[in-house]
Structure 1
Amino acid sequence: MNIVLWVIAVVLAAVFTAAGLRKVLTPREKVVEDMTSLEDLPAGAIKLIGVVEVLGAVGLVVPAALDIAPVLTPLAASGLAVTMLLAAAVHARRKEYPLIGINVVLGGLALFVAIMRFGPQAF
């Protein structure tokens, strides 16, 4: 089970790093062009979401890998699960129902990692 959790954490970290860096490094207009859900948000809020995603991705892997404060791994997973819950709420408000599925899958995987790393597979 430990290997499965590591694989899920690394995959989630890659997805959230890519999504977060895109939001942080790309101008607002280009991000909104591809992610219309963000059109109601100012540039600063989009950048903040990107930073949260990147920090969450780092928190999924680095603390456990380096064995420095490994409790941060399930905390990061919990934070990413909440982020996906909030993203799903935004998509629901905008009636972008197909996009909610992505949030459910990513949030569910993050929640699974959080539960397992807080519980039976803790470091």
Structure 2
Amino acid sequence: MKVAFWVLAGLLALFYLYAGGKKVAQSKERLQPMMGWVDTVPMPLVRVIGALEILGAIGLILPPLTGIAAGLAIAAAAGLVLVQVGGIALHLSRGEGRLIGLNIGLLAAAAVTVWLGTAFV
């Protein structure tokens, strides 16, 4: 179970560091082609979402790696589940149901990571 956790947590962390980093660092114009929803969401909220994604990525890896408060990895994965619930809700509210495949996949991966994370508690 621990190997599966590390593989899944590592992949999620890489994805969220990349996606969150883009949201934190790039302008609305640079994000627009990849994330069409940024035109309807205030940029401070986009930055907060990006920061939460980065913190979630760090929370998936750092606590179990150090052995300090390893249960925080479960909280981080659960937080990323909530980020994806919000993403799905946003896409559905914009009539973009065809775009939620990635969100559903990330939600499922984060939910499995929550379960696998129980090996560290």
Output the TM-score relative to the length of structure 2: 0.94
For residue 34 of structure 1, give the secondary structure of its aligned residue in structure 2. Answer: coil
1:41 corresponding residue in structure 2:
41
Task: Provide the C-alpha distance between the structure 2 equivalents of 1:43 and 1:84, rounded to a whole number of angstroms.
Answer: 18
Q: Greater RCO between the two (CA within 8 Å, min separation 6)?
A: 2
Which amino acid is the alignment partner of residue 3 of structure 2?
I
1:67 maps onto 2:72 in alignment:
no
For residue 33 of structure 1, give the secondary structure of its aligned residue in structure 2. Answer: coil
Which amino acid is the alignment partner of residue 36 of structure 1?
G
2:120 corresponding residue in structure 1:
122
2:110 corresponding residue in structure 1:
110
Structure 2: 5+ residue runs without aligned partners?
none
Aligned residues: 121
Structure 1: 5+ residue runs without aligned partners?
none
Conserved 8 A contact 1:28-1:46: no
Task: Provide the C-alpha distance between the structure 1 equivalents of 2:51 and 2:106, rounded to a whole number of angstroms.
Answer: 17
Deviation string 1:37-80 (CA, Å, 9 cap, x unpaired) is 22111111111110000000000001100111111100000000
Deviation string 1:89-112 (CA, Å, 9 cap, x unpaired) is 101111212221111110111011
Instruction: Give structure 1 regions of 4+ aligned residues with deviation exceeding 4 angstroms.
Output: none
Deviation string 1:16-53 (CA, Å, 9 cap, x unpaired) is 00000000010122112321122111111111110000
CA RMSD after TM alignment: 1.1
Task: Provide the C-alpha distance between the structure 2 equivalents of 1:122 and 1:98, rounded to a whole number of angstroms.
Answer: 36
| Structure 1 segment 1-123 matched on structure 2, within 5 A | 1-118=1-118, 121-123=119-121
Output the TM-score relative to the length of structure 1: 0.93
